[in-house]
Amino acid sequence: MNTESNALPDSPLGSPAIAPAAMSVPRPFYWSVRRELWENRSIYVAPLAVAAVVLLGSAISLVGVPRSVRGAAALDLAMQSTMLAHPYAHIGMLLVATGILVGIFYCLDALHGERRDRSILFWKSLPVSDLTTVLSKAIIPFVILPLIIFVTTVVLQLIMLLMSSAVLLATGAGVTTLWARLPLFQMQLVLLYGLIVLALWHAPIYAWLLLVSGWARRAVFLWAVLPLVAIGVFEWIAFHTSYFGSLMHDRVGGFAAHAFALRQPGSAPVDPHFIPLALIAPGKFLRTPGLWLGLAVAAIFLALAVRLRHYREPI
């Protein structure tokens, strides 16, 4: 009942029966997201630029491929995979890092820029609610960026694989070792899982940045970071503890420990370059209280950002 009434007015597809011939059914959410992509081209330009640089670098390093494949062939099977996975994993890590950076800077500006350039008066003169606006901005780091990073990485890895194969064939080294031992498909599945996990785990960070960007009059980055540092320092001086600091540390970098079964008792530590599909632990991740706590905090931050935008005027 509730979901039905919510879904109707903003339904992105609209019902052809309702739509009059001349005017289309308004799709505020869809167009607001497109608006974000028009304004912030770095969302896709930055990953593509990094991809281009990587591609150029890889093209030059191709000369070394036959040697490294020959080197890998001498190792045992598990090590072969890890060894061959290295360059492909580096691409993934680089692009994920790019995505995080772009997401951070996007969020810092998202609700600040429109007040700085006074365009908020234009946006508010249109029948688009504050909720739609804030959600259309939040979806960028939550969904759009991870998707762009995933597609870019997969395409880039495939191009690399084709280039390496071409070189191997041309030099007569043969592609069997590479194709048989490189766990590319598995890596891409793990990457997809990792991106989803990362977006969920980092959701409160992005929501916090959005909130601060809607609140601060200037120096958004400082307002976003310094209060957190201050709390940590205060706790350490006053109580000689660092619970807040470790909480932040876990929030920023702790997702892997929660989402993968990395530390099997009695086994060697896993090389982060190639995490086998068998080690993903969605059940464990979903049972992590920190995940749900983080999502609840993110929801609160977003609700506050919506509320705040109602009151905001140009600065």
- Residues in contact with other proteins by the rule CB under 8 A: 22-28, 30-32, 34-35, 38-39, 114, 117-122, 124-130, 132, 310-311, 313-314
Q: What is the DSSP letter of 217?
A: S
272 C-beta neighbours (distance < 10 Å), count: 11
Vertex 271 angle, CA 52 and 88, to 5°: 20
Write the CA distances from 170 to 62, 65, 66, 266, integer angstroms: 12, 12, 10, 44
Which backbone phi and psi does 27 adopt, to 5 degrees? -125, 75
Q: Name the residue nearer to other proteins (CB basis): 126 or 222.
A: 126
In the block, residue with structure tokens 């464990």: 284
Task: Decide whether 12 or 282 has the Cβ nearer to other proteins.
Answer: 12
Minimum CB separation from other proteins for residue 52, in Å?
23
Please state, in angstroms and as integers, the Cα–Cα distance from residue 120 to each residue in 209, 218, 267, 287, following that order. Answer: 18, 16, 56, 41
Closest by CA to 211, choosing from 86, 100, 112, is 112
Q: Nearest approach, Cβ of 147 to other proteins (angstroms)? A: 21
Q: Among residues 109, 174, 133, which one has the least CA distance to residue 29?
A: 133
In terms of CB distance, is 116 or 262 closer to other proteins? 116
Q: How far is the CB of 32 from other proteins (least distance, A)?
A: 7
Complex with other proteins: residue 130 or 255, whichever CB lies closer: 130
What is the nearest approach in angstroms of other proteins to the Cβ of residue 36?
11
Of the two residues 10 and 235, which places its CB atom closer to other proteins in the complex?
A: 10
Residue 262: CB partners within 8 Å, gap ≥ 6?
256, 269, 270, 275, 279
The smaller minimum CB distance to other proteins, of residues 15 and 125, is found at 125
* CB of 39 vs other proteins, minimal distance in Å: 6
| Complex with other proteins: residue 29 or 255, whichever CB lies closer | 29
The Cα–Cα gap between 154 and 189 comes to 10
State both tokens at 283: 């059940």
d(CA 269, CA 262): 7
Least gap, CB of 43 to other proteins (angstroms): 14
To other proteins, the closest distance from the beta carbon of 26 in angstroms equals 5
